Structure 1
């Protein structure tokens, strides 16, 4: 789950495979999703971007990650207490905006943290991260697969198997960036370390979830995630930039 608050122009969010115009939003909350989304801005791409774990969303925002699952919504609609956060950030100089954001999230933690700590989903997600299969995670928890599915869907808005797909994707993304920063080649190694059957499996999942191949993703996102350093993947270097 993530929050994006641009400094100036609203964000346009378009979803791959979905009809209709791109939505324009002042402050965006995006839930867990397995499809590709494209974010566009007219002006400079500056602002605040926060990534929250499912447990963090419950503790800091007071809402389950299932609330905006599969979509992007206005922050004010999902968390009314933070409706004025974009204006509060804009009113402060750049050096003070981190403090404004932290104060807002800590206030949410004071309101919701104790209730979030009692949620049973933490153990369920930990078991799904450790286990290779959903059935194995259910055995670790001593519950049925149906019960595990109900808990995860209620809190995250995705099934246990979909959550495991997201975990593998995030693990691969982190390793992909680390390998590119180090100038190392080897999508096969990234795939194996992240729990994919092979490089082809990684590429299929990446295309399904990001709308492009891993190499294409680095070409588009490389300047932001690598700080302008060249990325090396496979036998040929990936040329960063558009």
Structure 2
């Protein structure tokens, strides 16, 4: 799959979190810009391109902004990656990283991160206890690790306005996953702890996100890709070549 006008792209998922082990998939996430003229016709361009082998998801700029404004944890991690995990980082992508804080608000961060973690727990709890086939055991353990990560990252974002992608103690997460795979009820105290922490810890985020920077950024993207033959500008520090329409 060839997608033009990629503005920002990097390695996300378990590799970014520091939880990958031998055989783990390498997941990539990015933002691209549709040619502006194609947004005015009867048939709009695809808003997302998803492939496997390699595992890559690319969202069109407007869709990514909507996901981020809604507090979507997967979308949000793209603009908080360690520098070495970016594979495409254009000047417009740099601008997006620069306004990442404006996408945040207290309610949406809490609802998204804690809500996703709660969904993970319900899936785990529905499986019940007892021995599992090896492939299912691995999947349940992975879901448990993500539950713990979502809780921790969500609370950090809620209370500090910052998001640390790489977890501090990967083995702690793997151990937790194994214990939950053996007994899903192990996850409940952790979930309850974070529910209380969200209730009791003062947050630093505003009541609503500031949409103005995202709107201004998106308009710059549209203006740039309106002219025939527009290319993605490459900054001297990125080494990312311009991409022609």
User: Which of the five TM-score ranges fits, normalised by the shorter chain?
Assistant: under 0.3
TM-score (norm 1): 0.23
Task: Choose between structure 1 and 2 for higher RCO, CA contacts under 8 A separated by at least 6 residues.
Answer: 2
TM-score (norm 2): 0.23
